[in-house]
Structure 1
Amino acid sequence: MSKLSDTTRNKLKTVSTATVATALFKRGLRIQCIQDVHPLSPDQPTMVGEAFTLRYMPAREDLNKLEMFRDRSHPQRKAVEDCPPGAVLVMDSRKDARAASAGAILVGRLKQRGVAGVVTDGGFRDSAEIAKLGIPAFHHRPSAPTNLTLHHAIEINGPIACGDAPVFPGDVILGDSDGVIVIPAHLADEIADETFEMTAFEDFVAEQVANGRGIFGLYPATDEQTLTDFAVWRKANGR
């Protein structure tokens, strides 16, 4: 599945969701941030990968029984086994965290299969265990009940809404301590290039501000001297 180049993936791992949000805003894209999702661990690595999606609908009690998990084609179980290495499993749980989207065993299986991360706009059960797994994971809040009580897994790898953001299979997902953002697949390379450059400039600006320089003419770089100083800084720092 993965068409994300190593170069683009590695560049995106060095930039922030905030910087990407600005780059997308410049292109008229305003709702690409997945709302109200949070990292399970403050120490988890930056998450980058192509979206592989799972959609839930409201459960109907006479259909959603524990016996469903015996079916090997059950979309939740199948998504865990089919999500490609290097991809991010993104779950549309209708922003409803009253029942879990998944738990530590399923997320642990994703880690063992080489999946790059997992996101739900609902909740995870076993959240403390998931936080210790080392795989980037984002949810709204912890949730103990099984997904069967409220959610019916209905579709794998179709377009979804996750936390009010549109997610299409193959879109590039970036997650860090500030949250998760969705980069349309066709923009991934140019966004990676642009934000990589933006990050270098912002690091320069942060250093200048820490040394007492004011922001006028510096950020944004409306003074020619700022660009001259930045060029010198880049050369000195190998950026």
Structure 2
Amino acid sequence: MDTENPLSTVWPLPVRGEPFHRADAESLRRMDAISAATACAKLHTMGITRTAVQGPTALETGSRVVGSALTLQFMPQREDIASGHGQEYIERDTALWAVLETVQPGDVLVVQAWGSAFTGCFGDMLVRYFKRRGGAGIVVDGRIRDAARVRRLGVPIWCTGTTPHYASQTDLFPWAYDVPVAAGGVLCLPGDVVVADDDGAVIVPAAKAPALIQDAEDHEDWESFSRMRLEQGARLSDYYPLSANSRAEYELWRDSRPKLPAQ
């Protein structure tokens, strides 16, 4: 094997997509108060119906993350282009290593891995480096390795499970980054917003984020009011969802609260 140029010239790798814009800090700050369930429901009413990433679950209960999507795409191996042979020489020249060098603080790495049960997309060293660069979390439609060490790093991760395999050991190969990816049946574009918690990961289209924030902030607020009234013994049908009367009651409650100073 040519260790100086280990990847095939049939199709130059790694593939990198076009530059993209990340969400601004204020939008992410406001989005941080919105649950994955609320984001998913509000996007549905806006006509975006496939946003919940199917398969990956939180590696650690209680995990939560909000951030701009950085994307990584695995593709099936084909021996004339890329395979896992000579892993110590190969993987460092792939999209897997390359995308980690582009991580910015607050990024959430979203990975297309086809739900593979045999591909350990990330392990201790890579997650450790991701964390050091300021990465906020990882959503991978596939598996990770070195689970015990990865848990100790405290990086929020959503995945389909664990495996002892390294990233290119079996059927997939790190192919491209900064490209559209399919994760758990959901399209994710670089720069979309990821909201993930114990309910799973939701992809918020970047252009829909401002409207979602405005609508969801009101939703989260009146749910807090409804929760309070239910705890006080009110009828569910009167307060979830709000009726015309309870909506008026909520608005009086909202407007009577002390106003918080501007951030």
TM-score w.r.t. the length of structure 1 is: 0.91
Alpha-carbon shift at residue 66 of structure 1 (Å): 4.9
**Residues 139 and 237 of structure 1, relative CA distance in 2, 3 Å threshold:** farther
Alpha-carbon shift at residue 93 of structure 1 (Å): 0.2
Matched, 1:24 2:59: no
**Residues 228 and 143 of structure 1, relative CA distance in 2, 3 Å threshold:** same
Partner of 1:196: 217
TM-score w.r.t. the length of structure 2 is: 0.84
For structure 1, which runs of at least 5 residues remain unmatched after alignment?
none
Partner of 2:106: 86
Alpha-carbon shift at residue 83 of structure 1 (Å): 2.4
Matched, 1:112 2:154: no
Partner of 1:75: 95
Residue correspondence of structure 1 range 124-203 to structure 2 within 5 A: 124-148=144-168, 149-203=170-224
Residue in structure 2 matching 1:216, options 194, 218, 237: 237
Q: Any idea what SS the aligned residue of 1:56 has? A: strand
More deviation, 137-146/64-73: 64-73
Partner of 1:52: 70
Q: Letter of the 2:248 partner, please give it.
A: T
Deviations 1:64-113 (A, max 9, x none): 23535435531111111222222111110011122211112101111110
Q: Number of residues paired by the alignment? A: 237
Q: Letter of the 2:244 partner, please give it.
A: D
**Do the aligned residues in 2 keep the contact of 1:2 with 1:87 (CA within 8 Å)?**
no
Deviations 1:16-45 (A, max 9, x none): 11111111010111111100111111143x
Of structures 1 and 2, the larger Rg is shown by: 2
Distance 1:202 1:49 in 2: 24
For structure 2, which runs of at least 5 residues remain unmatched after alignment?
1-19
Alpha-carbon shift at residue 219 of structure 1 (Å): 1.9
**Do the aligned residues in 2 keep the contact of 1:41 with 1:131 (CA within 8 Å)?**
yes
**Do the aligned residues in 2 keep the contact of 1:53 with 1:91 (CA within 8 Å)?**
yes
**Residues 18 and 237 of structure 1, relative CA distance in 2, 3 Å threshold:** farther
**Do the aligned residues in 1 keep the contact of 2:52 with 2:203 (CA within 8 Å)?**
yes
Residue in structure 1 matching 2:59, options 29, 37, 40: 40
Q: Letter of the 2:72 partner, please give it.
A: L
**Do the aligned residues in 1 keep the contact of 2:84 with 2:173 (CA within 8 Å)?**
no
